[in-house]
Structure 1
């Protein structure tokens, strides 16, 4: 009888009224660090799975985290890879009973061409906080910005016919971390190439090489006017990470 009464009191504690429940949500780039303020953050949405009500939403803020801790220290069970400055979104949700939720992260929020949406589902219990590293969602990809040529740029054929036509792109990890020769994110291990189309048909492949931190360049000879499309990709075999950016431009007579 006493055991039954105790269980009833415990259950009543879970259901008697709304209790603030804290959930830390973090977005971490694949093979990289956390996504925070320096990149504009990742957008987090927590929903009640039953009725799709939004229980909390907001952006991750803070630093990308401790490089050594995240990228160099061997991982063991119970070892936190986040510190007090590491980017995250702390949700404070009032619930009066166990609630099944979905957590969706859209990242990087300010880089639409590189955005990925990643989600997970779990039970939240009233008053049972999920802190520390919290819920960490991995965001795959690279952030690629084609710098040359510009979108829908009109270029006279006579200005490029007798010299190589240059392509230029900025490539960074999803956390904004730098790509450089011999670095933690080593450009020598990455394949950065362009697939060039003219009037909708494949024309050529273009290899780009690192010329300075994050900056890749390549060139090709163009001999005919037309509508051109460049699909530029980065690929890292070890992590399976990929990224894309595209640009259309016009060469005219």
Structure 2
């Protein structure tokens, strides 16, 4: 009788251990962020912050950053895509979310990108069911992130400039994946409209066109301003894709 009890206990413990191990096997969901009209957002620009949430409760089930390369330029930008043909490879940026779930869960996936460029960060999201043990791999869930990253290089924030001096307005502009913009390049500078809107403390606004300088991804123009306080807003706009980006700064002319 005692041996029978021991066997029962042993079988129960084995069943319990196997059950725990099965439950511990997380479900993998590969998540990637891809810049609109460009490549994947990865380590070279700080990645995309990924949050996977229970869509009903809002509980965060997994979070992290996409890491890896921006992907194969020729495959992504030049070749015709075919159904079920992967755009990514083993080096392409992504975040593998491992979800410990025991039943199907409806999730919200959010990507904030590019994570290290706060003035340019865009949130892109989607929702889907994740089923225990049914991994989502390959390209996985791809979230499109529209826009440009615009960084004003000159003038500097709160810089004091004499009214007698010519002011150089300069900005660095790249795609959301960090891909460069250049004359006659894959991302052609001549396709984009880049302008500075200069607004005085009197509410008067002037507009100046910026042209690509000798350096890739750099746009500039020169102007003179009267004494006063000014806000400078530089925007980039692509009339073909609708991509946009903005950065602002403030200066003092004395």
TM-score (norm 2): 0.89
The reply to whether residue 247 of structure 1 matches residue 249 of structure 2 is yes
* Structure 2: runs of 5+ lacking an equivalent: 1-18
The reply to whether residue 214 of structure 1 matches residue 203 of structure 2 is no
RMSD: 1.4
Rounded to whole Å, the distance in 1 between the matches of 2:186 and 2:52 is 33
The match for 1:137 is 143
Rounded to whole Å, the distance in 2 between the matches of 1:144 and 1:56 is 30
Are the equivalent residues in 1 in contact too, given 2:106–2:128 (CA < 8 A)?
A: yes
TM-score (norm 1): 0.89
Are the equivalent residues in 2 in contact too, given 1:195–1:202 (CA < 8 A)?
A: no
1:31-180 aligned within 5 A: 31-158=37-164, 160=165, 164-180=166-182
Are the equivalent residues in 1 in contact too, given 2:155–2:167 (CA < 8 A)?
A: no
Rounded to whole Å, the distance in 1 between the matches of 2:38 and 2:202 is 35
Q: Deviations over 1:96-133 (max 9, x none)?
A: 00000000111110000001011111000000000000
Rounded to whole Å, the distance in 2 between the matches of 1:179 and 1:50 is 41
Are the equivalent residues in 2 in contact too, given 1:19–1:96 (CA < 8 A)?
A: no
- Runs of 4 or more consecutive aligned structure 1 residues displaced over 2 Å after TM superposition: 16-19
State how many pairs are aligned: 233
Looking at CA atoms only, which structure, 1 or 2, has the larger radius of gyration? 2
Name which of structure 1's ranges 166-175 and 18-27 shifts more when overlaid on structure 2.
18-27
| CA shift for structure 1 position 204 | 1.1
More strand by share: 1
* Structure 1: runs of 5+ lacking an equivalent: 1-12
